[in-house]
């Protein structure tokens, strides 16, 4: 348990950041999962849907939830699946 006032504040901030990070990560994962499910069902997938997935991944990377290379890897995998269905 934190004893000093600054340690209590730091613990509080940690919880706030943890909650925010989890929200961003959940939104990103849900967008990717929804996109890949629609591809697996062989539904028509538009470029706008791909751009929305990119938007969520980029936002997570921007606020520091995931690293730059992780974001690039996720975007690459989604783009590969999109190209495969449109080929």
How do the pLDDT tens digits run along the chain, 87 residues long?
888 999 999 999 999 999 999 999 999 999 999 999 999 888 788 899 999 999 999 999 999 999 999 999 999 999 999 998 887
What per-residue confidence (pLDDT) applies to 2? 86
Dihedral sign computed on CA atoms, order 26, 55, 48, 87:
negative
Show the tokens assigned to 41. Answer: 């069902």
What per-residue confidence (pLDDT) applies to 32? 96
What per-residue confidence (pLDDT) applies to 15? 96
Q: Note the residue count of the chain.
A: 87
Distance between CA atoms of 78 and 70, rounded to whole angstroms?
Answer: 12
Query: Which residue do the tokens 């950041």 mark?
Result: 17
What per-residue confidence (pLDDT) applies to 43? 79
What per-residue confidence (pLDDT) applies to 8? 94
Distance between CA atoms of 58 and 69, rounded to whole angstroms?
Answer: 11
71: Cβ contacts below 8 Å, ≥ 6 apart: 57, 58, 60, 61
Q: Taking each helix axis from N to C terminus, what angle separates 5-40 and 47-63, rounded to the nearest 10 degrees?
A: 160
The answer as to CATH 1.10.1740.10 being correct for domain 5-86 is: no
């Amino acid at each position: 348990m934190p004893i000093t006032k600054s340690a209590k504040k730091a613990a509080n901030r940690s919880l706030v950041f943890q909650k925010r990070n989890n929200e961003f990560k959940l939104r990103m994962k849900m967008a990717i999962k929804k996109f890949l499910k629609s591809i697996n069902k062989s539904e028509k997938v538009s470029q706008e849907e791909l751009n929305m997935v990119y938007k969520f991944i980029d936002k997570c990377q921007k606020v520091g939830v995931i690293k730059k290379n992780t974001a690039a890897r996720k975007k690459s995998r989604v783009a590969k699946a999109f190209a495969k269905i449109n080929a």
